[in-house]
């Protein structure tokens, strides 16, 4: 049975609880998309790999969710005491411990334990990663397992600036700023590509990736100030979500399949010619973000019953709850498995396809085990400390699960 997530009439403002189980399911979808992209696009048999070549867009779903959740928290709490202290302390407890543990492992002992994954620490400075600046000058994604942390850098930079703007600007000003980000992001990407920027730079540089965060923020403002209704979100979700996501998926598969991913240098060469492909690189991120934001609004409306039931499926929700660990650890486990364990399966299993499948399943099992240990014994105990950082008005109230 699907748990109700709101109490409202069809044309009344939404009244959402603090904790929305379906959003954990959306996080689960996002992280599974990214993991599938990094682990399954190399499959050759029956062109299975092509099914997962749009998995990179899972990061865009994360951005939309972050924009919604963080903006909602900030707008709801900006009149309370301890606004900045509470927000930054709770974010730091959620993000920093595991991140810096991964950095310490990567720059400290990984090269000795897994020599095939060793990298040049002069080229990839730990200071840059510690300050969340690695995405600003990227010419490549860097070594495993820190090659996925560019998206964390974008979010940390967002966390640094956005609370200040929410505090000092009125909702109408915030809405105008967010719409400007949505409209100008593809224009900025197009201009940058026209000036010779590499696709990876428009993929990872913060000012080129604000549309997803902004669309999530606009949705949050609508919910908080009462402009968003169940009817409106359901109507726009039904009209936009599926068409936008299908078109975005189709264009991504046709133009940016294997060997020409949207963030690769080869993204600008091939069918359609450079001009068409530049336009697609500039615009596809926004199209994905529109699709995901519409999907999120549809879920919030309470009208997408089947979708809500899927997203509230307990295993998927749990994947969403531990998605941070899955996201960081998969960037270590999958490359390490490809180098150290998968060759063993190739040696003893005659079928290459079966050996690959068994190897990938083994890597998934290791990834899940590592994530569960981290969640149970490292992340979850630290998250309990967040209860020490609450707004004075909220003292004594039951704490909702963290975003």
| 50-91 per-position pLDDT tens digit | 778 899 999 999 999 999 999 999 999 999 999 999 999 999
- Give the predicted TM-score (pTM) of the model: 0.93
In a domain, 309, yes or no: yes
Reply yes or no on whether the pLDDT at 46 is more than 80.
Answer: no
| pLDDT band at residue 250 under the 50/70/90 scheme | very high
> What mean pLDDT is predicted for residues 239-249?
96
Q: Is residue 10 part of a domain?
A: no
| pLDDT at 33 exceeding the cut of 90 | yes
Number of domains in the chain: 1
**Mean pLDDT across the stretch 382-394?**
82
How high is the pLDDT of residue 106?
97
Residue 399 lies in a domain: no
Is residue 155 very low, low, confident or very high in pLDDT (cuts 50, 70, 90)? very high
- Please tell me the predicted confidence (pLDDT) of residue 197: 96
Residue 40, pLDDT score: 87
Q: Which domain holds residue 159?
A: 21-389
Average pLDDT over residues 243-260: 90
Residue at 335 is within a domain: yes
What are the angstrom distances between the C-alpha of 320 and each of 6, 21, 27, 338, 377?
A: 21, 10, 4, 25, 18
Position 14 pLDDT exceeds 80: no
What is the reported pLDDT for 12?
63
Residue 232 belongs to a domain: yes
At 3, is the pLDDT very low, low, confident or very high (cuts 50, 70, 90)?
very low
Provide the pLDDT for residue 16: 86
What are the structure tokens assigned to 7, written together? 């109490």
More confident residue, 296 or 43: 296
Confidence at 398, pLDDT banded by 50, 70, 90: very low
pLDDT for 395 = 46
Q: Does residue 16 belong to any structural domain of this protein?
A: no
pLDDT band at 45 (very low <50, low <70, confident <90, very high): low
How do residues 178-197 score in pLDDT, each as one tens digit? 999 999 999 999 999 999 99
The overall average pLDDT reported for the chain is 91
302 within domain boundaries: yes
401 within some domain: no
pLDDT greater than 60 at residue 298: yes
Query: Residue 300 has which token pair?
Result: 């919030």
């Amino acid at each position: 049975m699907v748990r109700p997530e709101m109490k409202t009439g069809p044309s009344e403002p939404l009244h959402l609880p603090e904790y929305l189980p379906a959003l954990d399911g959306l996080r689960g979808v996002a992280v599974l998309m990214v993991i599938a992209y990094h682990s399954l696009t190399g499959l050759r048999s029956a062109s299975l790999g092509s099914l997962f070549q749009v998995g990179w867009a899972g990061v865009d779903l994360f951005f939309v969710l972050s924009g919604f959740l963080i903006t909602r928290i900030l707008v709801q709490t900006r009149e309370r005491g301890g606004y900045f202290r509470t927000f930054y302390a709770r974010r730091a407890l959620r993000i920093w411990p595991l991140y810096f543990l991964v950095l310490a492992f990567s720059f400290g002992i990984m090269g000795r334990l897994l020599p095939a994954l060793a990298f040049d620490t002069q080229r990839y400075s730990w200071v840059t990663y510690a300050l969340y600046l690695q995405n600003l000058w990227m010419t490549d994604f860097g070594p495993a397992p820190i090659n996925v942390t560019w998206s964390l850098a974008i979010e940390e930079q967002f966390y640094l600036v956005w609370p200040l703007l929410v505090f000092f600007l009125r909702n109408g000003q915030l809405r105008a700023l967010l719409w400007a980000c949505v409209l100008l992001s593809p224009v900025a990407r197009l201009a940058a590509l026209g000036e010779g920027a590499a696709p990876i730079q428009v993929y990872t540089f913060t000012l080129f990736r604000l549309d997803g965060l902004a669309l999530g923020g606009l949705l949050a403002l609508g919910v908080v100030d009462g402009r968003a209704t169940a009817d409106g979100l359901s109507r726009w979700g039904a009209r936009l979500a599926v068409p936008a996501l299908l078109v975005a998926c189709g264009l991504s598969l046709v133009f940016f399949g294997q060997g020409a991913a949207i963030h690769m240098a080869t993204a600008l060469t091939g069918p359609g010619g450079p001009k068409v492909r530049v336009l697609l690189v500039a615009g596809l991120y926004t199209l994905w973000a529109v699709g995901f934001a519409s999907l999120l609004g549809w879920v919030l409306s309470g009208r997408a019953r089947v979708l809500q039931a899927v997203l509230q499926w307990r295993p998927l929700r749990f994947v969403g709850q531990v998605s941070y660990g899955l996201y960081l650890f998969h960037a270590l486990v999958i490359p390490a498995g490809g180098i150290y364990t998968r060759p063993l399966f190739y040696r003893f299993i005659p079928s290459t396809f079966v050996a690959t499948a068994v190897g990938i399943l083994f890597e998934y099992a290791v990834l899940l085990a590592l994530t569960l240990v981290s969640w149970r014994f490292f992340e979850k105990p630290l998250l309990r400390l967040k209860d020490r950082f609450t707004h004075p008005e909220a003292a004594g109230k039951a704490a909702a699960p963290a975003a």
